[in-house]
Amino acid sequence: MAQYTPAELANKLKDGLLSFPVTAFDANLEIDEAAYRKHLAWQSSFDVAGLFAAGGTGEGFTLTPQEASKVVRMAVEEAGSSVPVLASAGGSTKQAIQNAQDAEAAGAEGLLLLPPYLTECDQEGLYQHVSAICSSTKTGVIVYNRANAVYSADTVARLADNHENFIGFKDALGDIEQITKVYAKNGDRLFYLGGLPTAETFALPLLQLGMSTYSSAMYNFVPEFALDFYKDVRAQDRVAINEKLNRFVLPYLEIRDRVKGYGVSIVKGGLKAIGRDAGSVRPPLQDLTEADLADLSALIQKAGIVPAGATL
């Protein structure tokens, strides 16, 4: 049973840092329940505003619907009493409705709606798709603006007018003109979150465009650093942000960009580096090579951001 109305959820999420926990796997690449629960307990012990289970960094794209709903249920059990847990939905309209209903039954407070699978689509089709999912659940729905799901300002406004539980717009395209149009038309009716890879990189400029928060993948393994970074963004402390970009974020991008798909693998690498191993990534992703993992460990150490109590 949800603890937040959609409007309360939006209010809670918009002014705090958000994150996407990794999904822990064992040596056979099956879900490692104990390791996942331990990770969620740790992640929710900090002042994070929302956790999106089985999202992109949680390798939701490798999970069956049954596995995804199991992961969401575990996340709710471990973290739900202190932090709102959100789930994701995707695929066909029917599949996304099923995901939404499973997530609601598992106790998720909200939903991130991923782009429809594979096909091209235009605004009326997108509207019908999102509308059907919003109508199928009482929880808050956030659309994910990326790939084939690029929402015009008018489509966003139409969804907002017709669905009270449509609460948020997450962007992973970084098209300044589009974001400006969406925000200018919809203002405070929604909340806006940045979701480009390694979202810290863009957090300050996107704040000016209305994005008061973002999804931090690095929060998974350096939560204190990620929270400090978010504080600097909200204070618009350009000097502190530049210092943190140069000390950790930009050299981190250099490792992340060595192999396609490392955007997720490097997060599991970070957990390995700090002694909180959440296992390997599932194909089609690949784990960090030993050399890349060594570089990441050295960088975390050099940047002085080893989490309290970690062994490195």
Ligand X SMILES: O=C([O-])C(=O)C[C@H](O)[C@@H](O)C(=O)[O-]
Structure tokens, 213: 């928060």
252 included as an active-site residue: no
Which residue, 65 or 157, is less far from ligand X as judged by CB?
Answer: 65
Quick one: which segment of 214-222, 226-234, 285-293, 297-305 binds ligand X (CB under 6 A)?
214-222
Judged by CB under 6 A, the chain residues 34 through 53 that form the site for ligand X are none
Among 215, 265, 280, 297, binds ligand X (CB under 6 A): 215
Q: Does 199 bind ligand X (CB under 6 A)?
A: yes
Q: Is 16 in the site for ligand X (CB under 6 A)?
A: no
Q: Is 85:60 a contact under the CB 8 Å cutoff?
A: no
Q: Does 55 bind ligand X (CB under 6 A)?
A: yes
* Tokens matching residue 97: 């409705």
Distance separating alpha carbons of residues 223 and 25, to the nearest angstrom: 21
Among residues 195, 210, 279, 307, which is the contact residue for ligand X, using CB under 6 A?
Answer: 195
CA atoms within 13 A on the CB side of 213: 24
Q: Which residue has its beta carbon closest to ligand X?
A: 56
Is there a contact between 118 and 162 (Cβ–Cβ < 8 Å)? no
Instruction: Judge whether 57 is annotated as a binding position.
Output: yes
Question: Residue 98 class from Cβ within 10 Å (0-12 exposed, 13-18 middle, 19+ buried)?
Answer: middle
Phi-psi region of 66 (alpha: psi -120 to 50; beta: other; left: phi over 0): alpha
Contact with ligand X (CB under 6 A): which of 57, 155, 165, 186? 57
Indicate whether 197 belongs to the interface with ligand X (CB under 6 A). yes
- CA–CA gap between residue 173 and residue 270 (Å, rounded): 25
Active-site position among 170, 244, 268, 272: 170
Selected range binding ligand X among 7-15, 54-62, 221-229, 278-286, rule: CB under 6 A? 54-62
Active site residue 144: yes
Size of the site for ligand X (CB under 6 A): 12
Half-sphere exposure of 145 (CA within 13 A, CB side): 24
Residues 125-154, one symbol each (x = binds ligand X by CB under 6 A, - = not), give ------------------------------
- DSSP letters spanning 162-197: H-TTEEEEEESS--HHHHHHHHHHHGGGSEEEE-SS
Could you list the residues known to form a binding site for pyruvate, using ranges.
Answer: 57
Contacting positions for ligand X (CB under 6 A): 20, 55-57, 195, 197-199, 215-217, 263
Summarize the annotated binding site as residue ranges.
57
List the catalytic residues.
Answer: 144, 170
